[in-house]
């Protein structure tokens, strides 16, 4: 069963995150699970992937993968606040941020625009209150659709272009890249 799950997760990583240009970039992978997305980003040429997972069992598997893969750093950390994002951004200075952590994406809305605008590219999978609460994350909004709309506004205000907006079972997957100056 574990092997089947890994095959499915690897296919899911490719389907959901293949629009991310991570070649020679530092990727912050928040909600990394056991590492399928981190592995996918490395195979796509990422220079470094810092993979963050809150679930202790999955984080153990992620740590094992990090011993096997050059360019992968595994962190067992629960991301629930703007402060958590600030520390990760300040420590790692990511060029690409992928967020898939059932509710922690709400904390992106609390980030000051100057912090939010640091990465060049975001890939965010949004979820609703049911998924967030199941994973013990706060969800201060009324619905997944409200989160989606607020993130679209945040991206626009901070100078990002949403290049993909894919509906899925419990929210959306948003790809947004900072607009070029000049």
In contact, 75 and 6? CB cutoff 8 Å: no
- pLDDT digits 0-9 by tens, 4-61: 445 444 555 666 667 788 999 999 999 999 998 999 999 999 999 999 999 999 999 9
Residue numbers of the domain that contains 105:
24-72+79-178
CATH number at 87 reads 3.40.50.150
Structurally, the chain folds into a number of domains equal to 1
Residue 9 lies in a domain: no
Residue 2 lies in a domain: no
Nearest in space to 52 (alpha carbons), one of 22, 73, 67, 24 = 73
User: For the chain, what percent of residues have pLDDT higher than 90?
Assistant: 64
Residue 85 lies in a domain: yes
Residue 170 lies in a domain: yes
Residue 7 lies in a domain: no
Residue 5 lies in a domain: no
- pLDDT digits 0-9 by tens, 70-99: 999 999 999 999 999 999 999 999 999 999
DSSP 167-182: EETTEEEEEEEEPPP-
pTM for the full predicted model: 0.88
How many C-beta atoms lie closer than 10 Å to residue 8's C-beta?
A: 11
């Amino acid at each position: 069963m574990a092997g089947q799950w890994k095959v499915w997760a690897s296919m899911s990583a490719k389907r959901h995150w293949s629009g991310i240009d991570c070649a020679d970039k530092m990727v912050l992978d928040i909600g990394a699970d056991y590492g399928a997305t981190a592995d996918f980003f490395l195979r796509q040429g990422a220079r470094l992937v810092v993979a963050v997972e809150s679930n202790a069992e999955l984080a153990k598997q992620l740590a094992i993968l990090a011993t096997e893969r050059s360019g992968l750093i595994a962190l067992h950390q629960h991301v629930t606040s703007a402060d958590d994002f600030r520390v990760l951004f300040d420590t790692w200075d990511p060029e690409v941020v992928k967020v898939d952590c059932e509710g922690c994406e709400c904390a992106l809305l609390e980030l000051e625009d100057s912090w939010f605008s640091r990465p060049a590219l975001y890939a965010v999978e949004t979820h609703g209150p049911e998924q967030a609460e199941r994973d013990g994350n706060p969800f201060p909004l009324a619905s997944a659709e409200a989160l989606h709309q607020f993130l679209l506004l945040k991206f626009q205000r901070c100078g990002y272009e949403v290049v993909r907006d894919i509906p899925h079972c419990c929210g959306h997957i948003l790809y947004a890249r900072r607009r070029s100056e000049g």
